[in-house]
Structure 1
Amino acid sequence: MIRLLDINAIAERYAGSLIKVVGVFRAAIPPNTTFRSHTQAFPTPSPGFVFGIRGSGIFIFDGTSYELQTGKVLHGGEGMSLTMRTEASELEYFLVRYTLHEAGQPDPSSAAVHKPFELDPGITPAMAELLNQLRESFYASGSLAAIRTGYLFQMLLHETLSSSLNRHNDDNREIIEQARNYIHSHYMQSLSVAALAERHGLSAKSFSYLFHKHTGVFPIDYLIQHRMKRAQELLTMSDAGIKQIAASVGYEDALYFSRLYKKHFGRAPSQARRI
C-alpha cells in the first residue's frame, strides 16, 4: 500500500527551508541479497530520497517495509535503522541525502524530514538527466559547483513532486470514471456513497470530494440525474406504469420518485407521456 502524503504539503514544507545536499550516490544491490546499512546503534545520518532506476527491492525503515521499483521514490528520515533486501531482481538506485534548515534551526521536526513516505513520479527523461547532472555537480569542486548542486536538487524535487501529483490525479480520474461506469450499469440497484467509495478503497468523504472535483456534481446528485434521464426515456418510449418505471430506475416508492422527477424536470412523470 502506497503511503502517499499530501504532495502539496510536502512541497510547502521544502519551499520554506534551506536545503543542502550532503551526498549523491548511484548503487546496485545484487539479487537475493540482504544489506543492513544502518542499525539503531548507527542510524541514518540524514534524510534522503531514493530513486528506483532498475529492478526492485525492499527498504525496511525502523521495521516498516517499503517496496522500491523502477519509477518509484522513497524518502527515508534521519535517525532510522535501514535494511535493504532484494530477491530475484537486482536493484539499481540513486540516493540523494540532504539536510534541511529553517530559521537557523537544522533539521526541524517535520513529517517531511523524519518520516518515510513513497512517491510515484515514474522516471521521466528530465528526472533521469537531473539525477546524472546532480551527481556530477556534487563531486565537482568549487563554490559555483555547490550553488549548481543546490539548484539541481531543487529542480529534481520539483520534477519529482509535480510528476507524482500528475500521476496521482490521473489515478483519481480513472477511479471516478470507473465509478461513473458502475453507476450507469447499476443505477437500478440500491446504491449509496459509502458502498461506491468502498469499491475503490476510499472513505465516503474522500470519494465525494474526488467525484465532485472531476465531474462538478456529488455522487448522489449524479446518480439521481442518471436515473431521471433513464426514467424520462422509459416514460416516452413505453407504456409501463409510473410505479413500474420508478422501480426499474431504483425507486420502490413511486411517490418519492414522482417528487424527484418533478423537481428535476419541472413537471410530473405523467406529463412526460407522448400524446
Structure 2
Amino acid sequence: MQEEFNLEEQMLLWYEANMNVLDVRRETIRRGDALCEYRLPASAFIYFFRGKTNVSINERASSTRGTHILHGGKGALLNIVPQSNVVELYLIFYKGIMPATSSLRIKTLFKKHKPFDSPYNVAIDEGALSFFDIVKEMDHVWQSEDSIKKFHVKTLFLQFISCFFKVVQDQKQIQKNKDPVTKAIRYIHDNYAEVISLESLAKSINYSPSHLSLLFKDQTGSSPIDYLIRERLNKAANFLVETDAKVHEIAVKVGYKDAHYFSRLFKKNKGVTPAQYRKENRRQSDDSLGYVRGLSIDPREAKSYIDNDYHYQYNFWGTVDMNTYSNLIRFNFILCMALFISGCSGGANNMQENEDASIDVAENAASEDTSEKVAEHRFGETVIPKDPERIVSLGLEDMTLALDVPLVYATLHGENHYLEAKLHEKGVETDVVGGGQVNNEAVLAADPDLIIISDGPSTDESVYEELTKIAPTILLNRENWREEIVRLGELLNMEDLAEAKVESFHEQLDKAETTITDVVGENATVAFIRLSENMAYLWFPFPEDSYDKGYVGLIYDSLGFKPDPFILEMMEENPDEHWGVQLSLEMLPEIKADYIFVTAGASGGTAEDYEESWGQLAEIEELQVWQSIPAVQEGNVYQVSAKNWMLAGPYADESKINDVIQAVTNE
C-alpha cells in the first residue's frame, strides 16, 4: 500500500460515491501465457487467489503470492507474469462517480486522491477465505440470468470494499514499522533520475546494504540496481512515446548523462533502439479509434456494457466505438492537417530523426565489430564477448574493482570483507561464501555475460563446467595479480588502465621501501607467522624472480626487509613446501627476526572465528615460550588482519603496505 493512501479520507470518499459493477470475470493464466500491456477499460480490482506472479500497474511493480488485491484506474496498463504453473484471479470492473451535490470538502478530497484511478495493492494475510466467498458469489450471480443480479452484485461489491478497508486498517499498525523493500522501491520511484547506489539507497532508509539487497531480491526477484534500471528505462519509454523530446534529453531526464550508453542499455533491455521504440509504439498507440489492447488469455463474449462517453461495448478482445464513423471523419481531417503542417516543419522532424539515427548508426557500427579475444586457461579456451556489460566475479573482486569493470555480482570471502563497502557503493550484489563455494543460483540470477573466477586449488573442472552453462567463464590467478590484471585488461580492452595500476603500485612499493628503510635500516630482518591454539604457520618468501608473491611475499622482498635466517633454513629443509611450514610453539624462539608480523584466523572466517582466534593468540602471548622471542622482548611484534593479508590484489596489497609503514613508524 502506498504511503499516500490515506485510509480515513479514502473510506469517506467511497462512502459518498455512487458505484456500479460493470463486469466480473474469473481468469486462469498458465506459466508462459503472460498478460502484457493490457489497458484497463474501466476502474478495476484484480483479486489473485491462487499462484505466484510478478505484476505491475502503470509500471508499479510488485509480486503476488496467494491472496492479493490490486487496484487500477481506467486506462492503466496491467502486466501479469506467472511465476507458478497456474495463476487464478478475478477481475471486477466498476464505475464510481461523486454526486454533483457533494460538499466542497468531498470534491477537494476527490481531486486530491482520485480514488477510482489510483494504483495500489494489498496482500491478504488473514481473512482470505472471506474475500474468496464474496468474490466467488459475485461471479456466480453476475453470470446468472437473475433479473435482480445487478442489485445483488452491488451489495456484494460493497461488502468486498468493506472487507478491503478492514484489512487495510488492520495492516496500518503493522506498517508503522515499514518494510525496507517498500521504502526502497518508493525511494527509487521518487528519485530515479538521481545518482543511486546500493549504499546510498540503504542509507536513505537506514538499513544495511547487504540485508536490503537480500530482502529486495527475495521479494521482487531482482536486485535494487536492476530494479532502478528498469524504472529508468520504463520512464524513458513513456517519454519516447508521449513526447517529442530528443533522445539525449530523455537520457538525462531519467538519470543517464551518456546518450550512447543509454541507447545501448535501452536496446539490451527493450530489444530495440530508442528511435525504433518511438516509431513502433507511436504507430500502435493511437487510441483515437477507440481500440483497447486485448488480453493474452482466452477471450469470452461480453455480457455487459462499460460506461463512457460513447457507451463502448466491452469484451476481452477490445471495444467497439458506437460512433466510429464520426470518429473516422474527425481522424481524416486531423490527418490532412498533420500532412499539411509536416510540410512546414519537416526540418525540425528531420533533426530529431537524424539525432536518433546517429545513435542507431553508432550502435550498429559497434554491433558489427565481431573481433574476438580468447582467454587460455587450464580448462581450455574461452571466447570473450565484446564489451561485456554484466560481469560476475568469484574471488577476484580486488582486481575487477581496480579496473572498474561492470560488476553485477561478486563474492565476499568471509564476513566484514575489506571490499564490502566498495562493492555496495557501486551497487554490486554480493554473497558471503567460504573458500571454493559458488552459489550457482545467484550467479544465474545475475544474468552475466562474462564470469571471472579465481584459479585456486578448490576450483575444479566441475565447478568451471557448471559456470560455463550460465555464461563464458575465465580463470585468473589471484596471487599473481600484477601479471593477471594486465592479462584481464587486455581481454576487456583496458590494458592501458591495467598497466597504469601496476606501475602505480610499483611506485608505491618503492616509496614505501624508502620510508621503511629510513626507520629500520637496510639489514633489518622480518618474519610473518599465523598462530593457532597449539601451532604456528611460518610463511616463506617467494623466489626473487617470481611475479607471484603469494599473500605475504611482498613483506620479504619489496619493503626493505630481509627474511629471517631461520626462514631460509626451513626453506632448505622443506623444498616441497611452496607457501610455508607448520611449527610447534616450542620452536618459536628459533625465530630471531628483528620484526615479526602475526595474524590469526583465516580470510574467510566469521566474526565468531576471529574472536576465537584472537582469544587464542592472547593466551599464547602469556606463555613463556612466546615471551622469550627476541622481537617480543623488543616490542617489535605487530598484529595484522587476515582479512586482507590472507588475500591478494591491488587493494589488499596497498593495505598491507600501509600496515607495515604504520607499524614501524608508529604513525
TM-score, L = length of structure 1: 0.55
Write the distance in 2 (CA, Å) between the matches of 1:8 and 1:146. 28
* Matched-pair identity in %: 12
Q: 1:160 to 1:76 in 2, by over 3 A?
A: same
Write the distance in 1 (CA, Å) between the matches of 2:178 and 2:70. 24
The aligned amino acid for 1:159 is C
User: 1:45 is matched with which residue?
Assistant: 41
Could you tell me which runs of 5 or more consecutive residues in structure 1 were left unpaired when the two chains were aligned. Answer: 176-194, 201-275
1:121 aligned residue (96, 99, 124):
124
2:64/2:123 contact within 8 Å kept: no
* Residue 55 (structure 1) aligned with residue 51 (structure 2): yes
User: 2:2 is matched with which residue?
Assistant: 3
User: 1:165 is matched with which residue?
Assistant: 169
User: 2:99 is matched with which residue?
Assistant: 103
2:53/2:84 contact within 8 Å kept: no
What is the SS of the residue equivalent to 2:92?
strand
The aligned amino acid for 1:119 is V
- In the TM superposition, 1:132-151 aligns within 5 A as 132-151=136-155
What is the SS of the residue equivalent to 2:138?
helix
1:77/1:115 contact within 8 Å kept: yes
What is the SS of the residue equivalent to 1:113?
coil
Could you tell me which runs of 5 or more consecutive residues in structure 2 were left unpaired when the two chains were aligned. Answer: 102-109, 180-202, 209-667
1:50/1:95 contact within 8 Å kept: yes
Write the distance in 1 (CA, Å) between the matches of 2:52 and 2:2. 17
User: 2:31 is matched with which residue?
Assistant: 31
Q: 1:34 to 1:11 in 2, by over 3 A?
A: same
| Alpha-carbon shift at residue 103 of structure 1 (Å) | 1.7
User: 2:16 is matched with which residue?
Assistant: 16
1:54/1:92 contact within 8 Å kept: yes
User: 1:83 is matched with which residue?
Assistant: 79
User: 1:221 is matched with which residue?
Assistant: none
Q: 1:53 to 1:35 in 2, by over 3 A?
A: same
Q: Deviations over 1:47-70 (max 9, x none)?
A: 111112011112222333232321
The aligned amino acid for 2:98 is E
Write the distance in 2 (CA, Å) between the matches of 1:149 and 1:164. 22
Write the distance in 1 (CA, Å) between the matches of 2:59 and 2:128. 31
The aligned amino acid for 2:56 is I
| Alpha-carbon shift at residue 45 of structure 1 (Å) | 1.0
- RMSD of aligned residue pairs (Cα, Å): 2.9
The aligned amino acid for 1:70 is G
Q: 1:142 to 1:169 in 2, by over 3 A?
A: same
User: Bigger relative contact order, structure 1 or 2, given CA contacts below 8 A and separation 6+?
Assistant: 1
Write the distance in 1 (CA, Å) between the matches of 2:25 and 2:175. 31
The aligned amino acid for 1:52 is F
1:72 aligned residue (63, 68, 84):
68
Write the distance in 2 (CA, Å) between the matches of 1:48 and 1:141. 23
Write the distance in 1 (CA, Å) between the matches of 2:68 and 2:84. 18
Write the distance in 1 (CA, Å) between the matches of 2:114 and 2:34. 27
2:115 aligned residue (112, 115, 119):
112
2:24/2:139 contact within 8 Å kept: yes
Write the distance in 1 (CA, Å) between the matches of 2:10 and 2:66. 22
The aligned amino acid for 1:7 is L
Q: Deviations over 1:65-96 (max 9, x none)?
A: 23232122110111122222123443211111
- In the TM superposition, 1:102-251 aligns within 5 A as 102-103=98-99, 110-122=113-125, 123-172=127-176, 198=206
1:23/1:98 contact within 8 Å kept: yes
| Alpha-carbon shift at residue 150 of structure 1 (Å) | 0.5
- In the TM superposition, 1:249-268 aligns within 5 A as none
Larger Rg: 2
Runs of 4+ aligned structure 1 residues displaced above 6 Å come to none
Q: Deviations over 1:150-193 (max 9, x none)?
A: 11000011011102211332454899xxxxxxxxxxxxxxxxxx
| Alpha-carbon shift at residue 7 of structure 1 (Å) | 2.4
The aligned amino acid for 2:139 is R
Write the distance in 2 (CA, Å) between the matches of 1:144 and 1:163. 29
| Alpha-carbon shift at residue 142 of structure 1 (Å) | 4.2
| Alpha-carbon shift at residue 37 of structure 1 (Å) | 5.4
Write the distance in 2 (CA, Å) between the matches of 1:130 and 1:118. 18
Residue-pair matches, total: 173
Write the distance in 1 (CA, Å) between the matches of 2:83 and 2:33. 7
Q: Deviations over 1:124-164 (max 9, x none)?
A: 32211111111112222344221111110000110111022
60-69 vs 46-55, which deviates more? 60-69
User: 1:259 is matched with which residue?
Assistant: none
Q: 1:88 to 1:141 in 2, by over 3 A?
A: closer
Q: Deviations over 1:179-208 (max 9, x none)?
A: xxxxxxxxxxxxxxxx9x9469xxxxxxxx
Write the distance in 2 (CA, Å) between the matches of 1:114 and 1:174. 24
Q: 1:83 to 1:124 in 2, by over 3 A?
A: closer
What is the SS of the residue equivalent to 2:2?
coil
1:73/1:118 contact within 8 Å kept: yes
Write the distance in 1 (CA, Å) between the matches of 2:162 and 2:89. 19
Q: 1:174 to 1:50 in 2, by over 3 A?
A: closer
What is the SS of the residue equivalent to 1:93?
strand
| Alpha-carbon shift at residue 97 of structure 1 (Å) | 0.9
Write the distance in 1 (CA, Å) between the matches of 2:65 and 2:115. 21
